[in-house]
Amino acid sequence: MSEQNEKELEKSEILGKVLFSGSDIIKRVSELGREITGNYKGKDLLMVSILRGGVIFLSDLIKEIDLPLSIDFMSISSYGINGASTGVVRITKDLDESIEGKDVLIVEDIIDTGLTISYLLRNLRSRFPKSLEICTLLDRDIRRISDISIKYIGFKIGESYIVGYGLDYKQRFRNLKSIYELKPDMVTKDIESLKSSSSI
C-alpha cells in the first residue's frame, strides 16, 4: 500500500500506533537473512511457509538469503475455545514436496500460544527431515503455552493484537508495509471470535 494511503488508515478508527515501521522490518529481515545464510551453507534448505500470514515475510526473507534454497507452503485452520488457540489444527493444504532428509526451516508470521506451531512440529518431524527449525517474525512469548524453541526471532511483542505486513484483521491490512496495533476498544470482542475460528 502507498505511504499516503497507509497514513490515511492510521487516522482511522481501527489502526492504533505503529509498532514496527516498514524500514524497521526491512532492516531486521535482512539481518535474519544474513544469519540464516551463515547457518545453512552446504545444506539442503527448504523453507516452509504457513499460508496466509507468513507469505509476505517469506518472500522478503528469501531474497536476503544468499544460498540455493527451495520453498513450499502449507495451509491450516485452527480451532479455538473462548478466543484461545487449542492446538487442534487441520491441514487444508499440505506440502507439495517430501521433506525427508532436508533442512527444513518453518517461516511463521507470529507465534502466540505456540500450540499451532507445536502441532506442525510434531507433524513435520514424523516425515524425517534432516533438521527442523523455526523462524518467526514476531514472538509473543507472554501467552506461550507450548514449550518450543525458536531459533530465529524478528521481534518480541506484547499483548496487543497486531496487523500489517501479512497479518490481518478480517482478512484486511495484510498489504501494509508497517506493523500496527489495533485500537483495543474497537475490536476486543471481534478478535476473540476471530481467534476462535482462525484463518491463519
* Binding residues vs ligand 5GP (CB under 6 A): 53, 85, 109-117, 161-163, 167-168, 198, 200
Q: Give the Cα separation of 123 and 83 in Å (integer).
A: 24
Q: Of 123, 125, 107, which is closest to residue 61 (Cα–Cα)?
A: 107
Strand partners, 156: 139
Of the two residues 40 and 61, which places its CB atom closer to ligand 5GP in the complex? 61
* Smallest separation (angstroms) from ligand 5GP to the CB of 200: 4
Instruction: Give me the active site residues, please.
Output: 112
Q: Give the Cα separation of 167 and 190 in Å (integer).
A: 15
Q: Of 19, 53, 56, 6, which is closest to residue 176 (Cα–Cα)?
A: 6
* Smallest separation (angstroms) from ligand 5GP to the CB of 54: 7
Strand partners, 8: none
* Smallest separation (angstroms) from ligand 5GP to the CB of 48: 13
SS3 200: coil
Of the two residues 43 and 177, which places its CB atom closer to ligand 5GP in the complex? 177
Of the two residues 102 and 195, which places its CB atom closer to ligand 5GP in the complex? 195
